Chains A and B, each alone.
Chain A
Amino acid sequence: MALTRRLLLGSAGVAALGAAIYGGSRAACSFVPRNHPDFFSLLDIVPDDAAARRLGRLAIEAGLAPDGLSALGEKLAEGPLVRAAIAEPCPTTRAELLRDGCAADFAQNRFVTLDGWVLSETEATLCAAKLLAGAA
């Protein structure tokens, strides 16, 4: 197919239209309330493997983590660093804030032992959330 002026203009128009639709959608969506926990952003950090799911199950069974996504979200948001991590858009900074939040847990004796692993309460809660989110 020959590259014609009409084709170039058409393509640019389609691209511009696409960008406008995407930008407009993002802008419009920011006003739409979400019905899923906002700590989902943190779940990307939790490994998606059997070990994490086992720890999550143990945490729930032992009553160390609530058995429900919204309650888990509330528990996670108790810590200021984890709260900041939830709101942080940059994945690297988010991971750092979460690490600091876990360290703060240990420093405040907020740790649990699951399957022998000595974990911060935040870690245990996240494993539980990963399990429940995967099942949802």
Chain B
Amino acid sequence: MISDLRAAGAPADIAGDVCVVGTGPAGLTLAIELAGKGRRVVLLEAGGEGYEADTQELCKGAVKSGGHIDIADSRLRQFGGTSGHWTGLCAPLDPVDFEPRSGSPHHGWPIRRADLDPFYLRAQSYLDLGPSRYGWTDLVSVGAPLPLDPARVETVIHQQSPPTRYAEKFLETARAAAKIDCWLHANLVDLTLADGSDRVENVTVATLDGVRTRVTAKAFVIACGAIENARILLNARSQRPAGIGNEHGVVGRYFTDHMTILTSLVLLNEGVDAKIYCEPFSVDGANLELALRLHPDVIKREGLNNNHAFLNARYDDALYSDDFRNYGWTSFAAMLKAFSHGRAPDRLAERYCDVMDDVGGVTTGVYRHVMRRFRPPDQPRAFAFRQDAEQAPNPDSRVTLAEEKDRLGLNRATLDWRIAADDFLKLRRTHELIGAAIGAAGLGRIRLEIPEKPEPGLAYSGYHHMGTTRMHADPTKGVVDADCRVHSVKNLYMAGSSVFTTGGASHPTLTIVALAIRLADHLAATA
């Protein structure tokens, strides 16, 4: 059932077994799983069914960073959350991501990859990924895998989601579910602990026009994205002066993102076929994309961060250049897709103006897409590495509260995304080692393009905000325990990529969904 807190007659109190705040891939997955297990879920969404500028404005905050990052527009504060504009690439985190790493004191989760494996399998269907084929080895049946020494460099498989929009896929599910009591325009503004206790008694939600409601439950889960999750805890200061869960000053710290960089030149010898690394292909209904990664023993031995390097073909023919891709093209593609499905796109005026601002780019894109059908490309020999590279966890990279308050009276967030020179140099070394493996196989050569004295501006955010309520066995080094429960509060849980201890080299959504399913199993057994 879906209701609107702004409607007349909204109740002053709402009750359920579990209160889930946020309807993105974490919150909605959790609610559906819990409802399926017979638990009464109160599901709270700050926005409406679609994009609303006044609600979205609540995400705004300040950014301090040498890199290129956004705090507000990359999130969607609406039903379905940021799944409304994610790109859909998925892969589980690698086993090495969960392990401690020499020379990097903050690496290491309190769980292992094997703990997540069954939940990764269950997450596949939420994201319409088809069967799990991440471990598929029969690459020769679709092309020629590069004959690299597997003790040095491995081929890693990612799967592509359509991408699934949670609002499109699950809106009717939520509406029809008797066990889900979903409230729109319900912004979480406070958490109240029972007197003298370490349990949340209720949370207060409010609409922008001043309606306030109290929600009680046995357990509470906050699933609002890594920046909002931290902001909510840091703002909850009425009973805990530093904010709930922040007794050790860890909330908001260890913010990490993927460093999105297209760099380094790979030149393959004539006759070396790397086609299967350049184009997605389908196996058993799963859409796969291939990348290169260092063997985990090499990563551990060298003390590197993880990275999956995709090969981006560089063509001499401008027809195959994608330099027209900009906001204009993205908006044009979104409009085209929506109209082809017989509906109007959301944020139509904004998208239309994006296209108008970049008519030249969009025209070029249309022309090239049409012409590519008539003029197939030559076999590429030059490539760049495209990656969302891991950063080492850094406690100084953090979300804090700004002085400025939003319309609901909560302090806005300030994001200080730190990118250490060492993060770039480790990526440079990763490329160097992949280049050496390419040389050892007699396939070609690589030219490194990350300078020895890198500037933070080289990196763009992957828009994968992570780590601000990280999972750690030690309460002085993490906010939640291995069950995603806030260390200092018995019935408060965090969901989403804010609990990631490290970022790994995979896009986070699959792991977010897997962790949500795992948390649902845990809560169903305990709440």
Contact = CB atoms under 8 A, between A and B. Distances in A.
Interface of A: 99-100, 102-107, 109, 111, 113, 115-120
B445 A118 contact: yes
Chain B interface mostly helix, strand, loop or mixed? mixed
Interface residues of B, number: 14
Interface string B250-287: 00000000000000000000000000000000000000
B442 A113 contact: no
A111 B437 CA distance: 11
A13 B127 CA distance: 88
Given A117-B445, A117-B448, A118-B439, 19 more contacts: A99-B442, A102-B442, A103-B439, A103-B441, A103-B442, A105-B439, A106-B436, A106-B437, A107-B440, A111-B435, A111-B436, A111-B439, A115-B447, A116-B447, A117-B446, A117-B447, A118-B435, A118-B446, A120-B439
A41 B364 CA distance: 51
Given A99-B442, A103-B441, A107-B149, A118 B436 contact: yes
A68 B334 CA distance: 63
B449 interface: yes
Contact of A119 (B440, B445, B449): B445
Interface of B: 149, 432, 435-437, 439-442, 445-449
Contacts of A99: 442
Nearest to B265: A116
Instruction: Return the 6 tightest CB-CB contacts between A and B, nearest first.
Output: A106-B440, A106-B439, A118-B435, A107-B440, A116-B448, A103-B442
Contact of B432 (A100, A104, A113, A120): A113
A77 B439 CA distance: 20
A107 B443 CA distance: 13
A117 B432 CA distance: 9
Contacts of B435: 111, 118
A115 B442 CA distance: 21
A120 B435 CA distance: 10
A47 B250 CA distance: 57
Contacts of B432: 111, 113, 118
Contacts of A106: 436-437, 439-440
Contacts of B446: 117-118
Contacts of B437: 106
30 contacts: A99-B442, A100-B442, A102-B439, A102-B442, A103-B439, A104-B440, A106-B436, A106-B437, A106-B439, A107-B149, A107-B440, A111-B432, A111-B435, A111-B436, A111-B439, A113-B432, A113-B448, A115-B447, A116-B447, A116-B449, A117-B445, A117-B447, A117-B448, A118-B432, A118-B435, A118-B446, A118-B447, A119-B439, A119-B445, A120-B439
